[in-house]
Amino acid sequence: MRMLLALALGALLSGCAVTRDWSASGGSRSDGVVRLAYDARELETVRVDEAQAVRLATQRCKSWGYTGAEAFGRATRQCTQFGGFSGCAQWTVTKEYQCTGTGTGVETIATGRPAVSSPTAAQNADLAPSRQSQDARTIPVSTGTSSAGPEQQEAERARGALASSGCQPTKLPVRFKQQNDTNFYEARCTDGRLVHALCTFGDCRLRTRDD
């Protein structure tokens, strides 16, 4: 009887489509990448508006000094709430967008991702000195070709932020929570301490009590 009810509920939900809006979930100003996401419950048929996603990504890119954005790669999904009939009660679907249009053109790097030049020196001069020093401290400069994805790159930045604060992580920090545009990472230091780092659009720092 319970199985019949489950099948009937699944058939009912699968025939009901819902509309979801994309929202900003992260990214990297230095890489010119915006990450958007939406949540989907088990058995839901979700409809999304790609034009709305491009508008949102473009708005974020413009705030960084670019003029547009375009989708890069396919959307991925990750189970964020286990349970339900299939083992996952809720999924988070994520898609990345590459910022474009800095006036210097777009080149293709070895990883296959379009490489966009950073904002102009005049735009960088408008940044507060504290922000400039934070960027220089927490974002490592790559000296070679890397195939690491944006999530691993952000984890590397989190490790660099922890190292600069006196903690040497025993391994790459692990993301354990996402809130608005901020990702929370956790790592164990070589001296035994358990510390957290916060990353917002690629800018990472040590988590404090005020957070």
Q: Count the Cβ atoms, other than its own, within 10 Å of residue 171.
A: 9
Q: What is the model's pLDDT at position 107?
A: 38
Q: What is the model's pLDDT at position 147?
A: 52
What is the tens place of the pLDDT at every residue in 69-122? 999 878 898 898 888 777 888 889 999 999 998 744 443 333 344 444 444 444
Contact between 153 and 135 under an 8 Å Cβ cutoff? The reply is no
Q: What is the model's pLDDT at position 69?
A: 93
Residue 188 is which amino acid?
Answer: R
* Domain shared by 210 and 176, yes or no: yes
- pLDDT for 199 beyond 90: yes
Rounded CA separation 35/209 (Å):
27
Average pLDDT of the chain is: 76
Rounded CA separation 141/103 (Å):
23
The verdict on residue 2 lying in a domain is: no
Give pairs for 77-86: CB < 8 Å, separation 24+: 77/40, 80/39, 84/42, 84/43, 85/6, 85/10, 85/42, 85/43, 86/42, 86/43
* Domain shared by 27 and 89, yes or no: yes
In the block, residue with structure tokens 């939406």: 38
Question: Using 50, 70 and 90 to split pLDDT, how confident is the model at 138?
Answer: very low
Rounded CA separation 34/99 (Å):
7
Question: Using 50, 70 and 90 to split pLDDT, how confident is the model at 10?
Answer: low
pTM listed for this prediction: 0.43
Rounded CA separation 119/52 (Å):
25
Which residue range is the domain that position 106 belongs to? Answer: 19-126
CA 196 to chain centre: 17
Q: What is the model's pLDDT at position 124?
A: 45
Q: What is the model's pLDDT at position 12?
A: 52
* Domain shared by 189 and 131, yes or no: yes
How many domains does one find in the chain?
A: 2
The verdict on residue 14 lying in a domain is: no
Average pLDDT for 115-131: 44
* Domain shared by 108 and 164, yes or no: no
* Selection from 96, 98, 90 nearest residue 37 by Cα: 96
Q: What is the model's pLDDT at position 97?
A: 93
What is the tens place of the pLDDT at every residue in 18-72? 888 999 888 898 888 999 999 988 878 888 889 999 999 999 999 999 999 999 8
The verdict on residue 5 lying in a domain is: no
